[in-house]
Structure 1
């Protein structure tokens, strides 16, 4: 198992380095940062209700939390789905502890990509947005544990979704609910302005809590007044994200083992044949 873990880490680092040599991957790093800056530009004259604080500056940390959730849920699911379709998972299955090494590699890759994307968005924001800053060691510590716990809470769920989706063209099964949750989770506008029943739905899922956690690390303390309970609710953030992390870490290995057992050369060949028929 130690050898498989080392192989997985090495594989993840290699795949991460390769993203810097691929134009599509580089664009995937830059595109979210560009879109976020454009959104903030159009929000430059808006303020958080009841304050004179820029709504754009409030949106930036929320979007960082959204990016962590998106990376853990969607990127991980897409990676597993594509590798399942092209036979990569079948090859990993044939190697002793190959699935363990494969998963560690994917976790390394997705975590690295998520941190790079976060940095590309955070650094410009710290320079161009008034009121946005990491306030001392406590701010950096808060940002670190929110990002780490958020990844642990979302990547296993993303792996489960990737194991359950038969091909990459069905990713809308994840994307549509994801867009809906983003809309109600207070990412672009304070959640306290939504109906109470929508607030309760949003608080069940990690996206809201990741946005709240990153806001607590990057915004002035007085901005907590526009949050639910006028508080950053760190204990609740740890609790909800922790529950999702435990749930995912318990269920994901079971689902992935069952998915791996069902993989065979004939299944991979059938999927390739269907893909070729669609192209033709």
Structure 2
């Protein structure tokens, strides 16, 4: 499993060297966009709207727009230094809380944690302590230049880290439009709804849930592929260079003048012969 981050976790005087591994993967089917006429992949170019030219990667800089049309430019070296200074810090567990106190809306991404060299015992200690207390650790970590809060918990005998949003990153439920207030419901309606929920209640078994759309899309793609309903991108036309055009023009000029030279030389020889005979 690929390691995306190396560092250490600390709580109190205990320090655990660890590695992070992505716990989930995106299995969305990626579709390309083609030109309908020739089935060639569409290119997306970065163009400056003022200079009207394509911008190369080395000509692009990062900036923060502090007001409309006004920017603070940040150099790559400055960002890299800041990133390095923060990522080198240990992940510090600042609090321990009950898992049920954290609403799922806060959760972002999930990572597996494995112990680095010399960290096996401390890793086992934290895992066992979390299991025995039925609590999770709240920690700070910097991943991909962003400082985040994270929950450290146990999942199938493995320590797992889930990054969570800060409170100001979660929008207020009160801002959602058209949410009805308390409405008059009859006792019968409520009892019927609760009965339906009871009938559909079961144990959570993630294996029985599948992405039906992705499965159907893959079956459609395979069906078209097996039925030879495929297309091939047209070859890009080569644009002749100026040098090629110049050489072609010169050669055409030479070829065009050759007959004229031969006719002129023949006429000159006839005139010379006539003079001699005279």
TM-score (norm 2): 0.25
Determine which structure has the larger strand proportion and give its number. Answer: 2
Larger radius of gyration: 2
Instruction: Report the structure, 1 or 2, having the larger helix content.
Output: 1
- Higher relative contact order (CA closer than 8 Å, sequence separation 6+): 1
